[in-house]
Structure 1
Amino acid sequence: MGSNIVYYLRSTLGIFVLIICAIYGVIASIVCTLIGKQHLAQYLTARCYSNAMKYIMNIDVKVIDEENLKNLPFIVVSNHQSMLDILMLGKLFPPGCTITAKKSLKYVPFLGWFMALSGTLFLDRSNRTKSVTTLHNGLTKIRNNKRAIWIFPEGTRSHTTDLEMLPFKKGAFHLAQQGKLPIVPVVVANTSTIKSSKWKVYNTGCMVVKVLKPLSTEGLQKDDIPAFSEKVRDLMDKELKELGYCPANNITNLPPNVLEAQKKNL
């Protein structure tokens, strides 16, 4: 009962932090657009959210091999587990980077307004042609301006308590091949030790993220995409299993299978 109360209290506080940062993001987006720097709005807001979560929610982010994000332009692919992924973005987002998101998020108060004003690439899952056009327009911008697109190839949050990922959609890989841009895989250790809505877990702790080396798409043909995407997924899956679970400050309040796995490692 006590852990449920903590979960709901921290969830409420977390939502409050997100709303405040989204409002900041709306203001930052407007100001950045007015001075011709719209591409910096997501970077500034992501940093704001990361710092707020660190000092208010006591959730930090540890990044391994961050230097692999230095050589723009590129396309980042990352596993997607929960809303905590926004925190990870705040720590890693290069200036000028943008994300893709489902179109429905555009209409979420504050968060959606910020995303729309800051240049997020909204994808309409019911209209593949429109989504492809949106991605191609984004590709042209990042290639010409040496920026980046951050894509979650699983397509949705997995909410998993296991060391696994959902199957990858291939849009990011087609985009990289067409633009001759490298793919930079980013792997986040399982975060269910810190937050799990199913098991009412919301602990303090540290997200662990590893940036893998860029993978070239030079010479890659359209027919090579399925095998290439599986290669990337296999690399990320292996790394996820090596990273394991994010360290949490409360190791008694964990999903059952995670608690069992933690006991085996003691």
Structure 2
Amino acid sequence: MFVKYLAFSGRVVGLNPVVEDDHLLSGEPCIYVLNHQSCIDVTGVGDIWPKRCSVVSKASLRFMGFLGIVMWLSKTISIDRSHHTDAISAMEKAAIEAKQDKVSVFIFPEGTRSDAGYLLPFKKGAFHMAIECQFPIQPIVIEPYAKFLDHKKKLFKSATYKVKVLPKIDTKGMNKSQVDQLLNETREKMVAAFEMMKGTISN
């Protein structure tokens, strides 16, 4: 509900995401992984946000006014990366609850946002969770915001941009020893899609 509201708010200020290949979306519980460029990322996936879904976010965002309230109401999984043991425990607990309740989870595997024009290295949490739950990975790539958002100059203009759904990656039968394999496969596919959308490689 609140994500839908944020998506609507994005359109009010001129953000018009166009979802490509949404027929590839898994109808089953899954771990959605997205590239992370800005706090506006969530407005791009509002139209495809499933009814039963949570999101993993850094704990410090809980104290950011309205956003913190939204996170609390939407049962966001808060991770404090400065306390490694606590972060692992939080992810393990989230995996158990997601599996029991059959709830999908949205995760930004880069762990932090980047407007550098490329994807940062992925952290392993999303892939541990996917294998623990035996949920498929559902990669989603948002095209670079460079054409309408400049963080350094604090410039923003209305724009239509692409949100691309990639084929899901099955985890059935995978175990913890295959976390790196799953991470690498997912990142390679997301990087290829991002570069294609950026126009740095040809079709």
Residues 85 and 71 of structure 1: is their aligned pair in 2 closer, same or farther, counting only changes over 3 Å? same
Structure 2 letter corresponding to 1:100: V
More helix by percentage: 1
Question: Distance between the aligned counterparts of 2:168 and 2:128, measured in 1?
Answer: 16
Match of 1:126 among 79, 82, 107: 82
Q: Which has the larger radius of gyration?
A: 1
What does residue 57 of structure 2 align with? 101
Q: Is the Cα–Cα contact under 8 Å of residues 81 and 159 in structure 1 kept in the other structure?
A: yes
Question: Distance between the aligned counterparts of 1:126 and 1:52, measured in 2?
Answer: 32
1:85 and 2:41 matched: yes
What does residue 213 of structure 1 align with? 167
Aligned identity (percent) is 31
What does residue 52 of structure 1 align with? 9
Question: Distance between the aligned counterparts of 2:171 and 2:46, measured in 1?
Answer: 27
TM-score by length of 2: 0.92
Question: Distance between the aligned counterparts of 1:91 and 1:193, measured in 2?
Answer: 22
More strand by percentage: 2
Question: Distance between the aligned counterparts of 1:153 and 1:70, measured in 2?
Answer: 19
* 5+ long unaligned stretches in structure 1: 1-43, 246-260
Per-residue CA deviations over 1:115-163 (Å, capped at 9, x if unaligned) read 1232100001122222222222222232233221000000000022x2x
Per-residue CA deviations over 1:34-55 (Å, capped at 9, x if unaligned) read xxxxxxxxxx11111212221x
Question: Distance between the aligned counterparts of 1:65 and 1:198, measured in 2?
Answer: 32
Residues 139 and 182 of structure 1: is their aligned pair in 2 closer, same or farther, counting only changes over 3 Å? same
Secondary structure of the corresponding residue to residue 238 of structure 1:
helix
Structure 2 letter corresponding to 1:165: L
Secondary structure of the corresponding residue to residue 136 of structure 1:
helix
Per-residue CA deviations over 1:14-39 (Å, capped at 9, x if unaligned) read xxxxxxxxxxxxxxxxxxxxxxxxxx
Question: Distance between the aligned counterparts of 1:73 and 1:85, measured in 2?
Answer: 21
Question: Distance between the aligned counterparts of 1:238 and 1:196, measured in 2?
Answer: 23
Provide the aligned length of Structure 1 versus Structure 2.
Answer: 201
Per-residue CA deviations over 1:202-249 (Å, capped at 9, x if unaligned) read 11111201111110112223222112211110101111111227xxxx
Match of 1:191 among 135, 142, 145: 145
* 5+ long unaligned stretches in structure 2: none
Question: Distance between the aligned counterparts of 1:141 and 1:176, measured in 2?
Answer: 12
Give the CA RMSD over aligned residues. 1.8
1:237 and 2:194 matched: no
Alignment map for 1:36-185 (pairs within 5 Å): 44-54=1-11, 56-160=12-116, 162=117, 164-185=118-139
Residues 69 and 156 of structure 1: is their aligned pair in 2 closer, same or farther, counting only changes over 3 Å? same
TM-score by length of 1: 0.71
- Decide which moves more: 120-129 or 221-230: 221-230
